């Protein structure tokens, strides 16, 4: 993982902890397990928007309850860099 990629993953984990109000968020945590639901997902989406700038189409971000934080990061990072390098 590149250096700025590692930094963004850390920011992702940090803001997720802040929004959910608990510390139990690791790269291996699944969205379901840490308590993401249809209400707090929007605050998280806005936070991710700020960490991974330039993703023009939020519908491209695909996840389910089983998606892990690391998988989320990989997707967001790829989409963000794809836009920026295009």
Least distance in Å: CB of 70 to other proteins? Answer: 22
User: Residue 56 or 85: which CB sits closer to other proteins?
Assistant: 56
Q: Does 70 bind other proteins (CB under 8 A)?
A: no
Contact 63, 72 (CB under 8 A): yes
Assess 58 for contact with other proteins (CB under 8 A).
yes
Is residue 61 packed enough to be buried (19+ CB in 10 Å), middle (13-18) or exposed (0-12)? middle
Among 3-11, 18-26, 65-73, 77-85, the segment contacting other proteins (CB under 8 A):
18-26
Ranges of H-type helices in 1-86: 3-20, 31-34, 41-51, 69-85
Query: Contact positions toward other proteins, by CB under 8 A?
Result: 18-19, 21, 38-47, 49-50, 58-59
């Amino acid at each position: 993982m590149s250096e700025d990629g590692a930094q963004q993953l850390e920011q992702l984990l940090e803001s997720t902890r802040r929004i959910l109000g608990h510390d139990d968020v690791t790269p291996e945590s699944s969205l379901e397990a840490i308590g993401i639901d249809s209400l707090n997902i929007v605050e998280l989406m806005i936070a991710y928007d700020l960490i991974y700038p330039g993703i023009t189409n939020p519908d491209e971000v695909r996840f389910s309850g089983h998606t892990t934080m690391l998988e989320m990061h990989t997707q967001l990072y790829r989409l963000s860099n794809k836009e920026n390098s295009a």
